[in-house]
Amino acid sequence: MSEALNQAIAIMARLRAPDGCPWDREQTFDSIKRHTLEETYEVFDAIDRRAWPDLQEELGDLLLQVLFYAQIAADAGLFTIDDVASTLNAKLIRRHPHIFSTASAATSEDVKRTWEAVKQTEKAARGESPKAYLDDVPHSQPALLEACKLGHKAAKAGFDWPDSLGLLDKLTEETAELRAEMDRPELDLDAAEDELGDLLFTAVNLARHLHLEPEFALRRANQKFRARFTQMESSAGLEVLKQADAAKLDSLWREAKVSVSAREAKVAAGSLPDTPSPESA
């Protein structure tokens, strides 16, 4: 283990010591969960921005979360950071028999199948036997991620759309069903939510067929919207936006799309620095 990593472990232990930092000593597994989620998304953001110095710092913040959980566990006599590392090492070796044993894997798909097979063997050894096929997809995760995993799991059992074009047709069908609910004289919120959920679930499965991560696709759309809206605000002013009619807003939006796209092209060509700005934030 490197000296720097050993020092980080020692610092965390010192912060949690009886005479350590009052705030760090007060923290529990539950109290720092939200920080872990925030740090994870900050890692994503740094990668999206290709901000490598920021990524280095954000990975350090994410590592802090691991050290924090492990130290809380050690204080409670549950396990240590060494136990965490040992468990990880053993798992990596078990799940890569094509590297550390005599199995073979010529493609990444072979590796995925081996990984899944070893996982199932591990679960059987622990006495875990799901009552239903989808029981090992956790409920306690973001809905977008749960939808992804449900689609992947069902597809492994052969329950899937034959191709992405079929999913496009399904999107059209689900959109029509949502429109039908919206066209009713009085909107039934439960029914509309149900149809909107079907539409979103279908979109997630389309992403899977296209080998795209819907979370990252949505984050990219968010960034695009943020950049274009910020450009509109920069060029026209927020008060003008608040008072503009639909035609004016559409015109400003189209101008912003052109402006942002032009700047992105210059960044890609190297004629502008790739640094955060109102247009690229």
Structural tokens at position 153:
């799991």
Cα dihedral: 109, 112, 118, 119 (round 10): -150
Q: What domains, with CATH codes, occur in the chain? A: 3-94 (1.10.287.1080), 135-212 (1.10.287.1080), 217-269 (no CATH)
**280 pLDDT higher than 70:** no
Q: What is the pTM of this model?
A: 0.66
Burial of 279 per CB tally in 10 Å (0-12, 13-18, 19+): buried
Q: Which residues of 78-110 are buried (b: 16+ CB within 10 A; e: fewer)?
A: eeebeebeeeeeeeeeebbbeeeeeeebeeeee
Rounded mean pLDDT of 24-40? Answer: 94
Quick one: pLDDT band at residue 281, thresholds 50, 70, 90? very low
pLDDT exceeds 60 at position 268 = yes
User: CB–CB of 130/136 below 8 Å?
Assistant: yes
> Vertex 60, ends 21 and 51: CA angle to 5°?
135
The per-residue pLDDT for 272 is: 62
Q: What is the pLDDT of residues 88-133, one digit of tens each?
A: 999 999 999 999 998 898 899 899 889 888 888 888 888 777 678 8
Split at pLDDT 50, 70, 90, the class of 274 is: low
